[in-house]
Amino acid sequence: MKKHILILLGHPALSRKSFCEALALAYQKGAQEAGHTTELVNIAKLDFDPILHEGYEGDQPLEPDLAKTQEQIHQADHLVIIYPMWEYMMPALLKGFFERVFTRGFAYDLKSRNPLKNGLLQGKSARIIQTMSMPAIIYRLFFGAHGIKALKSMLGFCGLRPLKATCFGMIMESRDKHRKACLAKSEALGRKGI
């Protein structure tokens, strides 16, 4: 089944091409070659305030770029979120993006007493691709992949299922052979639309 895939690039780099961007382009290439339609959103290039100034009690209208991204999410069958792990978490810009875009009334509704039925993005799936400096096996076994678990919890609350994750470790220390293998895996994931 062909899908409409939205790739969200969460690396904040503006003046250089990050390895996360290379992974996003590889995924997009594989997906398009397999007949999926794709859109790539580079979050660093969006014009928005990433701070939710009044929390969930205030009124902070969406900037045009965020309103457009909400529409792109609404139209997508599958989301791919690609970012580096910084300080054991996602970059602040990506966290701010989620706080501003995945809002009540768009991504979830608190009217249901069952927290598993609050999600308004049901029928969509997601893949998280996270890069890091440590070995991915260490992140999963000794640190419990806590950052990925938190993001999966948020996406699941919004109704996205299934949720899959791929970790690419040792990126900063890696050689071309390792990076090429990561890019090939990202492209293969895109080809499968997963």
Taking the chain (194 residues) in consecutive chunks of 10 residues, what is each chunk's mean pLDDT? 97 96 98 98 98 90 98 98 95 98 93 80 97 94 93 96 97 89 98 98
Spatial distance between the Cα atoms of 54 and 41, rounded to a whole number of angstroms: 26
Please answer whether residues 126 and 78 qualify as being in contact, where contact means their C-beta atoms are separated by less than 8 angstroms: yes
Find how far residue 13's CA is from the centre of its chain: 16
Crossing angle (nearest 10°) for helices 64-75 and 92-101: 80
- What residues contact 46, with CB distance under 8 A and at least 6 apart? 63, 65, 66, 69, 97
φ, ψ at 127 (rounded to 5°): -125, 130
Q: Using alpha carbons, select from 3, 56, 11, 1 the residue that is nearest to residue 28.
A: 3
Give the pLDDT of residue 172.
87
Side by side, the strands of the sheet bearing 78-84 are: 37-42, 4-9, 78-84, 125-131, 163-168
- Map out the domains of the chain with their CATH numbers: 4-192 (3.40.50.360)
> pTM for the complete prediction?
0.96
Going by their DSSP bridges, the two strands 125-131 and 78-84 should be labelled as parallel
Q: Where are the beta strands (DSSP E) in the chain?
A: 4-9, 37-42, 78-84, 125-131, 163-168
Q: Following DSSP, what letter does each residue of 94-137 receive, concatenated?
A: HHHHHHHHS-BTTTB-TT-SSGGG-BS-TT-EEEEEEE-SS-HH
